[in-house]
Amino acid sequence: MIPERISCVVGARPNFMKVAPVHQALARRGLQVRLVHTGQHYDEKMSAVFFEDLGMPRPDAFLGVGSGNHAEQTARVMTGFDSDCEQFRPQLVLVAGDVNSTLACALVAAKRGIAVGHIEAGLRSRDWSMPEEINRIITDGCSDLLLTPSRDGDANLRQEGVPDWRIHFVGNCMIDSLRTHLERALALGTAAALGLSAQGYAVATLHRPSNVDEPPQLARLLAALGAASERLPILFPIHPRTKKRIEDAGLHVAPGITLCEPLGYLQFLGLLAEAKLVLTDSGGIQEETTALGVPCLTLRANTERPVTVSEGSNLLLGTDTATIGPAVEAILAGQGKRGRIPELWDGKAAERVADLVCGGFRTLLDA
């Protein structure tokens, strides 16, 4: 099929930088593209600022679902998006990543017989306790176009029995955004404005339930980051979930750690690019640091993005916080990974998606 009307869905912070370049590439080709924001992330700093930074137009529809438990949030997105599909009648729905909005909209579209394209298909952490792993697997299961960012994604899908005609290795759409905006991000001089010198600080982010929801683990992580901050200052833009947990549990944050509000895309990208090292449990930041060649220490037991470890600058530290100090020391001693840029992380992934969509593709209903 060759679709004329396409809905692109965004819901949470990590979606915006993946969808923006695809939305732009499709619009440039004269297709009718609708941008639907589910409202899973709604704070100015978790959402609106990204539209501005990425040059995305105002969404055509805002579903306003807000927070809630997984069932409530997923259900609200499904109901809202179903009405939107009823009205706009898209022939293709593009979803990205692994958040609840991704799963909800893919399910709605599939049940309506609308083709689904999944940007960032095929990634697997093999950790069924992660809500994102469930979201990835179910979304892939109902997607016609499986748009993979790396070869491991293709291999995972094949291993699950997915036929080759559904798998399309397009590269990493999020890295398109990084390449487009890096120069502007650096020109902002965010590190200098915060009194930090290039290569003289670390950036930390934490928000995974497995790291922040249980106070003892969060306390151990904060203590390890505190010790590392005696070696170099740490800037920690804090996710609302983590902020709430620290406050509720009354946890201590060392003076070498500067907590700040979540940052916009450009400010954060500029800070990553000039950091000596990054400590994170985010998925996207593992990829951004790999694209920038900045050493990244991932504070998780597993990663769905193994190419950042096998080729990039990422080191998977696991959940034992005793590993953090030595890993930071090694980077300060000049042993940080620099890595290389993975295949097709070349800034042209969104164009490949647009080529595919405009060239026509087979769907699950045709099969």
**Residue 178, helix vs strand vs coil:** helix
Assess 304 for contact with ligand UD1 (CB under 6 A): no
- Among residue numbers 44 through 73, which ones bind ligand UD1 (CB under 6 A)? 46, 67
Q: Which is nearer to ligand UD1, 133 or 274 (CB)?
A: 133
The rounded distance, in Å, linking the Cα atoms of 116 and 118 is: 6
Q: Is 68 exposed, middle or buried (0-12, 13-18, 19+ CB in 10 A)?
A: middle
Note whether 124 binds ligand UD1 by CB under 6 A. no
CB of residue 139 to ligand UD1, shortest distance in Å: 11
DSSP state of 258: E
Among the listed residues 23, 168, 207, 239, the single catalytic one is 207
Q: Within 13 A of 7's CA, how many CA atoms are on the CB side?
A: 29
Query: 296: helix, coil or strand?
Result: strand
**Closer by beta carbon to ligand UD1, 98 or else 140:** 98
Give min distance, CB of 360 to ligand UD1, in A: 32
First to last CA, the chain: 12
- Looking at residue 105, its amino acid is C
Helix%, strand%, coil% for the chain, nearest 5: 50, 15, 35
The CA-CA-CA angle for residues 87, 89, 92, to 5°, reads 140
Residue 300, interface with ligand UD1 (CB under 6 A)? Answer: no
Please answer whether residues 25 and 354 qualify as being in contact, where contact means their C-beta atoms are separated by less than 8 angstroms: yes
- Scanning 6-14, 141-149, 154-162, 198-206 for contacts with ligand UD1 by CB under 6 A, the matching segment is 6-14
**DSSP β-bridge partners for residue 277:** 202
Question: By C-beta, is 283 or 342 nearer to ligand UD1?
Answer: 283
Stretch of 37-45, 172-180, 265-273, 336-344 contacting ligand UD1, by CB under 6 A: 37-45
Q: Which stretch binds ligand UD1 (CB under 6 A): 82-90, 92-100, 192-200, 308-316?
A: 92-100
With respect to ligand UD1, which residue has the nearer C-beta, 41 or 300? 41
Q: Is 215 an interacting residue with respect to ligand UD1 (CB under 6 A)?
A: no
Mode of pairing for the β-strands spanning 257-260 and 5-10:
unpaired
Size of the site for ligand UD1 (CB under 6 A): 18
Task: Give the Cα separation of 262 and 245 in Å (integer).
Answer: 15
Q: CB under 6 A: which stretch of 94-102, 118-126, 197-205, 334-342 binds ligand UD1? A: 94-102
**CB closer to ligand UD1 out of 61 and 344:** 61
181 is catalytic: no
Check binding of 288 to ligand UD1 (CB under 6 A).
no
Side-chain-side CA neighbours of residue 124 (13 Å): 17
Instruction: Give residues in contact with ligand UD1 (CB under 6 A).
Output: 12-14, 40-43, 46, 67, 98-100, 131-132, 207, 239-241
Q: Which residues are catalytic?
A: 207
